[in-house]
């Protein structure tokens, strides 16, 4: 087969793959799913200064399908509004007083915030525990390989997890946590629920919600979603499930226990379909019987339109 014929075959295959992707997308869209990740949702990341933006691997990795904006102390006051951003990510424990004021205002207006670390440190490393109104009483505990995590697995965020886990950490390390008693209640207009804790004063995963304004908050410990290393708590499967559940809850996405994720990378004419199973979101199963015919295309990852 000469080069010209090879090119034609490859081109035909790409055209078929493109049609196949469009068929899959249309089938799932027709089923009324909101699980297709809409990256027109604007997400911002707060970091105190532009000096540390380059050192933000977690948000750039796990929210890769979104075109993230970075807000710093010089921009957060004027730019952090519900109109501008669907969600604010806080990956670092350093936060200025100016930023804390902006975050509280954003939450009061119905915004959504995910704290990947406890924001109790000022940029100069001095302590300020109570600046975020809903986070409650601060605490600090030690976590080692002997630590046991207690999980409330009756919540959408912790669905599919066990009731308890032994830490996989190989070192003894102190970490910032929060202390809520009782494990559910109300604070500053939000309903809160502790989802994972290590001890009485060691709450490491908490969700907050104001059903009137639509505001949502996830507070998670800084090592909650780290797989591997000396300070990780869970294995990669548990962490992946926990992260996906958390992401679906705070962004209002459909539950997807069968592993289909369709993303539309902004600024690129490309449709990416990742298929781990032949079914869609749970409520789509009876609506997509023809989808099972594509079981053999599991290796298909990317096709251009």
Q: pLDDT of 109-161, one tens digit each? A: 999 999 999 999 999 999 999 999 999 999 999 998 889 999 999 999 999 99
Whether the per-residue pLDDT at 279 is higher than 70: the answer is: no
pLDDT tens track for 33-52: 444 455 678 999 999 887 76
Please give the pLDDT value at position 235: 86
- Decide if pLDDT at 81 tops 90: yes
Confidence at residue 1, expressed as pLDDT on a 0 to 100 scale: 41
Q: The tokens of 108 are what?
A: 């009061």
Q: Which residues are paired to 142 by β-bridges?
A: 174
* pLDDT of res. 120: 95
Percent of the chain with pLDDT over 70: 67
pLDDT in tens, 192-217: 999 999 988 899 999 999 999 999 99
Q: Which string of DSSP letters, residue by residue, matches the chain? A: --HHHHHHHHHHHHHHHHHHHHHHHHHHHHTT---SB-TTS-EEEE-SSGGGGGG-HHHHHHTTTS--EEE-TTTHHHH--TTT-SEEEE-SSB--HHHHHHHHHHHHTT-EEEESS---B-TTS-B-TT-SGGG-EEEEEEE-TT-EEEE-TTSTTTTT--SEEE----S-EEEEEEE-SSSEEEETTEEEEEEEESSTT-EEEEEEEETTTTEEEEEE-TTTT--SSSS--S-HHHHHHHHHHHHHHHHTPPP-TT-EEEE--TTS-EEEEEESSS--SGGGGGG-GGGGGGGGGTT--EEE-
Quick check: 253 pLDDT over 90? Answer: no
Q: Are strands 112-115 and 215-220 parallel, antiparallel or unpaired?
A: parallel
- The answer to whether the CB of 59 falls within 8 A of the CB of 68 is yes
Average pLDDT for the chain: 76
Is 106 within 8 Å of 88 (Cβ atoms)?
yes
Backbone angles phi, psi at 262, to 5 degrees: -115, 125
Sign of CA dihedral 97, 102, 105, 106: negative
Domains (range + CATH), the chain: 3-36+257-304 (no CATH), 43-251 (3.40.50.880)
Position 64 scores a pLDDT of 78
Question: What is the pLDDT at residue 190?
Answer: 97
Tokens of 23: 């068929």
User: Do the beta carbons of residue 227 and residue 239 sit within 8 Å?
Assistant: yes
* Per-residue confidence (pLDDT) for residue 52, from 0 to 100: 62
Encode pLDDT of 168-196 as tens digits. 888 898 999 999 999 999 999 999 999 99
Report for 85-89, 277-281, 282-286, 291-295: range of highest mean pLDDT: 85-89
Reported pTM = 0.73
């Amino acid at each position: 087969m000469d080069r010209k014929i090879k090119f034609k075959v490859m081109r035909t295959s790409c055209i078929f793959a493109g049609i196949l992707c469009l068929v899959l997308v249309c089938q799932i869209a027709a089923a009324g799913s909101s699980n297709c990740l809409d990256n027109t949702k604007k997400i911002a990341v707060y970091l105190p200064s532009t000096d540390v933006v380059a050192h933000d691997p977690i948000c750039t990795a796990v929210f890769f399908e979104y075109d993230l904006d970075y807000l710093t102390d010089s921009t957060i006051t004027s730019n952090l509004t519900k109109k501008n951003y669907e969600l604010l990510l806080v990956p670092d424990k350093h936060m200025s007083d100016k930023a804390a004021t902006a975050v509280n205002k954003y939450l009061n207006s119905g915004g959504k915030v995910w704290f990947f670390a406890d924001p109790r440190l000022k940029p100069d490393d001095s302590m300020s525990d109570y600046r975020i109104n809903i986070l409650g009483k601060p605490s600090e505990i030690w976590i080692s390989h002997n630590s046991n995590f207690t999980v409330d697995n009756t919540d959408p965020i912790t669905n599919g997890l066990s009731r308890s886990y032994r830490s996989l950490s190989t070192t003894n390390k102190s970490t910032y946590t929060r202390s809520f008693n009782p494990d559910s209640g109300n604070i500053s207009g939000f309903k809160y629920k502790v989802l994972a804790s290590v001890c009485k004063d060691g709450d490491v995963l908490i969700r907050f919600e104001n059903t009137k304004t639509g505001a949502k908050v996830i507070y998670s410990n800084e090592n909650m979603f780290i797989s591997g290393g000396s300070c990780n708590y869970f294995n990669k499967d548990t962490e992946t499930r926990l992260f996906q559940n958390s992401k679906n809850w705070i962004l209002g996405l459909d539950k997807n226990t069968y592993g289909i994720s369709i993303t539309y990378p902004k600024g690129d004419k490309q449709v990416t379909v990742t298929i781990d199973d032949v079914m869609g979101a749970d409520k789509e199963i009876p609506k997509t019987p023809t989808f099972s015919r594509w079981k053999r295309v599991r290796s298909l990852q990317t096709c251009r339109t």
